[in-house]
Amino acid sequence: MPDNKQNAFDYDVVVVGGGPAGSTAATLLAQHGHSVLLLESGKHPRFHIGESMLPFSEPVLQRLGIDWSEGNQFKSGAVFIDEATDQRMYFPLSVYRKTYQLERGPFDQVLFKNAAAHGVETHEEEKVLEVDCQPEGVEIISDKAQYRCRYLVDATGRSALMGKKGKTIDRIENLGKFAVYTHFEKIQPGEEADELFRSGSIYVPVVDIGWLWIIPISGRRLSVGLVVQKERPKDCEVEELLRRYLAASPILQRLLEGAEQYAPIRVEADFSYSNQSRYGLRYACCGDAAGFLDPVFSSGVFLAFTSAARIADRIHEGLHEGREADPLLHAEDDEAYQLGFNTMRLFVERFYQSNIVHNLFFEADRQPDLKDQIARLLSGDLWAENNALQQNLLAGRRPNEKLNLS
Ligand SMILES: Cc1cc2nc3c(=O)[nH]c(=O)nc-3n(C[C@H](O)[C@H](O)[C@H](O)COP(=O)(O)OP(=O)(O)OC[C@H]3O[C@@H](n4cnc5c(N)ncnc54)[C@H](O)[C@@H]3O)c2cc1C
């Protein structure tokens, strides 16, 4: 490995952003033997939405040495619901690999501390203000110090440091416009609640303006949210809108009877986009900094883990072989990333545009192959190359057209 002191680099890699993507990239780079600085503007544990995980994240967690079963609610699957017709469709997800519903505050803290335990130098409450990627190296200016390194990882989430700097963020229209959500505790015993916490599934009731999420979290707590895709009624504020939809849902009425709201109502808007320059001269973006999709299929943290692992391995290769200044270092990996991201994007677009829950998901009960294909996409099994539904999505065929299920 080249001598950094001689080249006046403070670190091999500086990772900006200490969420799941940043902590993952930093830990794996340290495991590869590099000197890594991880900068986080907040202080862990900090609140973050995004509690429902996908099982195909598991191989990355194993590499990190993280046991995510500890203290978290086992998630067996996803249930899509139309309360008007009382139809429910359950997709088992934890079949080959297990997954969980978790509170992001403590979980992100575990990942961040794990990076430090692997030799990463971690700084909290330090915000990166400016970066300059040059052929000779990268300059980083934070609100506390200045650094010089060989490579930059942008894991700043929806702050999208490099995407905003290069003005390369492309909004994806027609998906959810905003989400409004809160948390309840003291969920009382009862048939509905007991079944929910036994299966640990995410419930997704579809409603006229979008969909709701119901996520059971350990300690008999619930995360509930409303994602609005259509024009919202103008006669009420967003907080009132959430209350209205919670009250109108018979399932939620049963689940929330006697429960107590313990968190504020929060709102997040304009969240779907793709960053058109995800990599370049001495930098790569991962997680939400590369792109973000409406959360209906809970793909965010999974894409954060898998994209971070991919770029960490490639940066290691580039540094090891002296190819780190090649702006196309990540070109091949980016194709793999795009395959995963675009599959999810097309799937989410179909969710909104073609009434997929009625036309495909409920239909899947009569077609075991189709049910398996949907479950595999919902699990994050995106790079297997033998999923007919995925191939149809990518080929631009509508999933409710005649499907090639062979
Ligand atoms: C309404 C909603 C619901 C969601 N539900 C789910 C779900 O159920 N399941 C799921 O998997 N995902 C979900 N997501 C998505 C999920 O939250 C994200 O995909 C995930 O957090 C991405 O991880 P990340 O590490 O890329 O970014 P983040 O987790 O956002 O981490 C980025 C970090 O960078 C730090 N940072 C930013 N700028 C700077 C800077 N300049 N200097 C230093 N530090 C900086 C931030 O403080 C932050 O800690 C949801 C998202 C939304 C909006």
| Average of per-residue pLDDT values in the chain | 94
Per-residue pLDDT reduced to its tens digit, 154-206: 999 999 999 999 999 999 988 878 999 999 999 999 999 999 999 999 999 99
Per-residue pLDDT reduced to its tens digit, 48-65: 999 999 999 999 999 999
Per-residue pLDDT reduced to its tens digit, 75-106: 999 999 999 999 999 999 989 899 999 999 99
From the alpha carbon of 292, which atom of ligand 1 is closest?
19
Residue having the nearest C-alpha atom to atom 5 of ligand 1: 50
From the alpha carbon of 227, which atom of ligand 1 is closest?
1
Residue 399 confidence (pLDDT) = 52
From the alpha carbon of 181, which atom of ligand 1 is closest?
1
Instruction: State phi, psi for 291 to the nearest 5 degrees.
Output: 170, 155
Q: Residue 146's beta-bridge partner residues?
A: 141
- What is the spatial distance between Cα 227 and Cα 164, in angstroms, rounded to a whole number? 25
Q: Could you tell me the domains of the chain?
A: 11-51+103-172+271-341 (3.50.50.60), 74-100+177-269 (3.30.9.100)
Is it the case that residue 282 has pLDDT exceeding 90?
yes
Best CA proximity match to 225, nearest among 189, 190, 269? 269
Per-residue pLDDT reduced to its tens digit, 16-37: 999 999 999 999 999 999 999 9
Residues with CB under 6 Å of ligand 1 are: 16-22, 39-42, 48-53, 127-128, 155-159, 161, 179, 268, 271, 287-289, 292, 295, 298, 300-302, 304
**Cα atoms found within 13 Å of the Cα of residue 104, Cβ hemisphere only:** 17
The pTM is what? Answer: 0.95
Exposure class string for 168-178: b at 16+ Cβ within 10 A, else e: bbeebeebbbb
Alpha-carbon dihedral angle through residues 370, 177, 337, 317, given to the nearest 10 degrees:
-150
Per-residue pLDDT reduced to its tens digit, 327-360: 999 999 999 999 999 999 999 998 988 788 888 8
Ligand 1 center–CA 194 separation, angstroms: 30
Per-residue pLDDT reduced to its tens digit, 286-305: 999 999 999 999 999 999 99
Helix (H, G, I), strand (E, B) or coil at 190: coil
Contact, 100 vs 69, CB < 8 A?
Answer: yes
Ligand 1 pocket mutation, candidates 288, 299, 345, criterion most atoms within 8 A of CB: 288
From the alpha carbon of 271, which atom of ligand 1 is closest?
53
Provide the token pair at 301: 């943290």
Residue 44 confidence (pLDDT) = 98
Ligand 1 center–CA 106 separation, angstroms: 14
Best CA proximity match to 41, nearest among 16, 12, 24? 16
